[in-house]
Amino acid sequence: MAGRHGDALKIRVAAPPADDAANAELIRFLSARLGLPRHAIAVTAGQSSRRKVVSITGMESAAALRILEGE
């Protein structure tokens, strides 16, 4: 977690953007951090962009933000 970046959270992953590796790494990171199965997290917009929209099933947005921001 790199913190807030405007209205978004900035997350850095080491995986390359080729072959969907960065998206898969982002999903793995969020899954582990939020304690949710990988299938509960999906990149719903920006699959090939640096700025992505992620959908999380099974957790309220506010709760996910608190966990990700370390509160």
Residue with tokens 């608190």: 66
Q: Which two tokens stand for residue 29?
A: 């990171």
Domain ranges of the chain: 3-68
Q: Which two tokens stand for residue 62?
A: 């506010």
Residue with tokens 């998206």: 23
Selected residue with higher pLDDT from 71 and 3 = 3
CATH tag for 3-68 (out of 3.30.1200.10, 3.90.420.10, 1.10.3720.10, 3.40.50.300) = 3.30.1200.10
Q: Tell me: the pLDDT tens digits for 7-57?
A: 889 999 988 888 889 999 999 999 999 999 999 999 999 888 888 999 999
* The predicted structure's pLDDT at residue 71: 64
